[in-house]
């Protein structure tokens, strides 16, 4: 329930960060200026006794985030993929948040499965292990189906997780409201819309029926992608709080020592992770939006196996083209075209200077173009990008939040596998292939074909739609005498025939 009572939740957040020692670690990781450190300590120190103690056996930041709850853990998971932003040590500490959180007892997991599926767990499964992985929302058990002897992974939601997330999200809404009210300059970031988007994503992640559907769809769209796999869903053993998938053997993408010992080419893996994400996002508009190391396995034959489909992203075809043109412009160093695309898409207000924006983009792209990842300070780059968005009045685009967030995470995964990866060189073949097929005359002809097909379906209704549109604009429809129904039917049929004819001609041209 939203309301002022969430102030206590925010006070406790700050107090927990101070009590666990996480406040200083976070400020150090982000190189916070002295005045910000002073303010944080003045505000945090008096309330520190009110903070949650957490587990003293784990490092400070991990200790604080696990004590605060699942929404904070999600934030920590994102930071764990960006050692270039938070530093290697903090990223290493946060990596345990991906799949090594404290589990709940196997007896509780079995009870959840029995309650959700209405089965006798010990009869259906001949084996049901202790937790093999535990994350912020659910944990996974290895099991074996008694009738078929198939080995499967059974994912079970944490008891009470819905209520815990609701508390966190309510507190986030209060924070966003305060920012919106007290910091007018930050309204372009649309904090309330961002939290609303986050809420929708999280609530979807808490229904494993939706995750099962996403896994099945993702398997279908990526079926022809080489060296990439998605485990199959066992629908009869899945429900709202339980999901059962094929068991996949492999090494975790964050176990670099084991990957080296197994002889995997980490440089090639890093490039493949990045290229597969771009290909799936641009080609299908449907992509894995939580692609951190804990959700990637490398099979013995080198295949990448994706896991955990609770957060999936979608972008429409127009946005895909915009996104591809922006990346392509950076690859070609055509900053003027990149600026034009931003203006055409409405990402930058029309009253701003396009040449000045192009110059700002050049200042972003030139220092990092051609460099390997080890020589790029992502922290400084993100800081400058934020300055650019503020200077040119760019608002947060909620439809792009998942895409942007996942791009940051995937780049972090690629960097962890290959610290010297050249992001532009890795992206070039995928983006060039997409632009060749989807931007230009061929794409325009395909768009016209689709438009003609839609018009042909609406042929019989066109006269009525035109009349309705005229009436809504306050203009009277043509006066009687009106054509007979027979004549109107002939006109409608003619319209449909013409539309079908156009569609046929365009189809011949496109195909």
**What is the three-state SS of 232-283?**
CECHHHCCCCEEEEECCCCEECCCHHHHHHCCCCHHHHHHHHHHHHHHHHHH
Range in 169-178, 224-233, 309-318 the model is least confident about = 169-178
Q: Which is more confident, 227 or 511? A: 227
pLDDT in tens, 419-444: 888 888 888 898 888 888 877 666 66
Q: What is the pLDDT averaged over residues 356-378?
A: 74
Q: Which band of pLDDT confidence, cut at 50, 70 and 90, is reported for residue 468?
A: confident
**pLDDT of residue 84 exceeding 70:** no
Q: Which tokens is 211 given?
A: 């995750």
pLDDT in tens, 141-164: 999 999 999 999 999 999 888 887
**pLDDT of residue 473 exceeding 80:** no
Q: Which is more confident, 450 or 115? A: 115
Contact 412, 377 (CB under 8 A): no
Range in 37-51, 215-229, 233-247, 298-312 the model is least confident about = 37-51
* Average pLDDT of the chain to the nearest whole number: 79
Range in 166-170, 312-316, 394-398, 499-503 the model is least confident about = 499-503
pLDDT in tens, 285-332: 999 988 888 889 999 999 999 999 988 988 888 888 888 888 888 888
**pLDDT of residue 489 exceeding 60:** no
Q: What is the C-alpha separation between 430 and 295, in angstroms, rounded? A: 23
The single-letter DSSP state of residue 184 is: G
Region label for 81, one of left (φ > 0), alpha (ψ between -120 and 50) or beta (otherwise)? alpha
Query: What is the model's pLDDT at position 88?
Result: 72
**pLDDT of residue 72 exceeding 70:** yes
CB burial string 57-73: b at 16+ within 10 A, e below: ebbbbbbbbbbbbbbbb
Catalytic residues: 290
Q: Can you give the pTM of this predicted structure?
A: 0.72
137 in helix, strand or coil?
coil
Residues in the chain: 511
Which range of 347-361, 367-381, 403-417, 485-499 scores highest in mean pLDDT? It is 347-361
**pLDDT of residue 109 exceeding 90:** yes
> How do 138-145 and 251-252 pair as beta strands?
unpaired
Q: Which band of pLDDT confidence, cut at 50, 70 and 90, is reported for residue 493?
A: very low
Query: What is the model's pLDDT at position 155?
Result: 96
Query: What is the model's pLDDT at position 257?
Result: 94
DSSP string computed for 370-406: T--GGG--HHHHHHHHHHHHHHTTPPP-GGGHHHHHH
Query: What is the model's pLDDT at position 171?
Result: 76
Q: Which band of pLDDT confidence, cut at 50, 70 and 90, is reported for residue 507?
A: very low
Q: Which band of pLDDT confidence, cut at 50, 70 and 90, is reported for residue 510?
A: very low
Q: Which tokens is 76 given?
A: 């920590």
The single-letter DSSP state of residue 157 is: E
Q: Which band of pLDDT confidence, cut at 50, 70 and 90, is reported for residue 25?
A: confident
Range in 204-218, 363-377, 390-404 the model is least confident about = 363-377
Query: What is the model's pLDDT at position 502?
Result: 33
**pLDDT of residue 497 exceeding 60:** no
Angle between helices 191-205 and 401-417 (to 10 degrees): 70
Q: Which is more confident, 336 or 2? A: 336
């Amino acid at each position: 329930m939203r309301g002022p009572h969430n102030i206590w939740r925010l006070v406790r957040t700050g107090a927990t960060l101070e009590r666990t020692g996480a406040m200083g670690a976070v400020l150090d990781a982000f190189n916070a200026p002295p005045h910000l450190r002073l303010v944080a300590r003045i505000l945090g120190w008096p309330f520190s006794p009110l903070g949650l103690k957490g587990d003293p056996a784990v490092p400070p930041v991990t200790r604080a985030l696990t004590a605060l709850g699942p929404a904070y853990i999600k934030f920590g998971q994102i930071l764990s993929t960006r050692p270039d932003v938070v530093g290697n040590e903090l990223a290493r500490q946060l990596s345990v948040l991906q799949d090594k959180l404290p589990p709940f007892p196997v007896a509780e997991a079995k009870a959840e499965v029995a309650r959700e599926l209405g089965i006798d767990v010990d009869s259906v499964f001949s084996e049901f292990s202790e937790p093999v992985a535990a994350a912020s929302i659910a944990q996974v058990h290895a099991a074996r189906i008694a009738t078929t002897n198939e080995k499967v992974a059974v994912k079970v939601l944490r008891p009470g997780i819905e209520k815990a997330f609701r508390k966190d999200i309510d507190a986030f809404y209060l924070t966003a409201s305060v920012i919106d009210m007290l910091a007018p300059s930050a309204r372009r970031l649309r904090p309330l819309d961002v939290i609303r988007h986050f809420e929708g994503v999280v609530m979807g992640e808490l229904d494993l029926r939706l995750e099962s559907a996403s896994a099945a769809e993702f398997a279908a769209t990526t079926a022809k992608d080489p060296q990439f796999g998605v485990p199959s869903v066992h629908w009869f053993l899945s429900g709202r709080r339980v999901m059962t998938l094929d068991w996949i053997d492999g090494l975790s993408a964050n176990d670099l020592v084991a990957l080296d010992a197994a002889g995997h080419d980490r440089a090639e893996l890093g490039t493949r992770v990045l290229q597969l994400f771009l290909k799936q996002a641009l080609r299908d508009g449907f992509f894995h939006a939580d692609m951190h190391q804990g959700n990637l396995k490398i099979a013995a034959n080198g295949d990448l196996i994706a896991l955990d489909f609770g957060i999936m992203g979608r972008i429409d075809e127009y946005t895909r083209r915009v996104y591809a043109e922006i990346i392509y412009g950076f690859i070609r160093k055509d900053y003027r075209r990149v600026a034009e695309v931003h203006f055409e898409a409405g990402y930058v207000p029309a009253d701003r200077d396009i040449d000045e924006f192009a110059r700002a983009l050049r200042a972003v792209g030139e220092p990092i173009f051609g460099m390997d990842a080890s020589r790029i300070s992502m922290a400084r780059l993100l800081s400058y990008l934020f300055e650019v968005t503020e200077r040119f009045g760019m608002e947060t685009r909620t439809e792009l939040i998942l895409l942007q967030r996942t791009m940051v995470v995937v780049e972090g995964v690629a960097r962890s596998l290959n610290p010297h990866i050249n992001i532009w060189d890795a992206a070039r073949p995928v983006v060039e292939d997409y632009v060749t097929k989807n931007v230009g005359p061929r794409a325009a002809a395909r768009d016209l074909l689709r438009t003609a097909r839609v018009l042909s379906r609406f042929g019989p209704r066109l006269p009525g739609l035109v009349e309705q549109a005229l009436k809504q604009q306050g203009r009277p429809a043509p006066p009687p005498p009106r054509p007979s129904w027979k004549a109107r039917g002939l006109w409608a049929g003619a319209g449909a025939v013409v539309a079908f004819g156009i569609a046929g001609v365009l189809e011949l041209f496109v195909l």
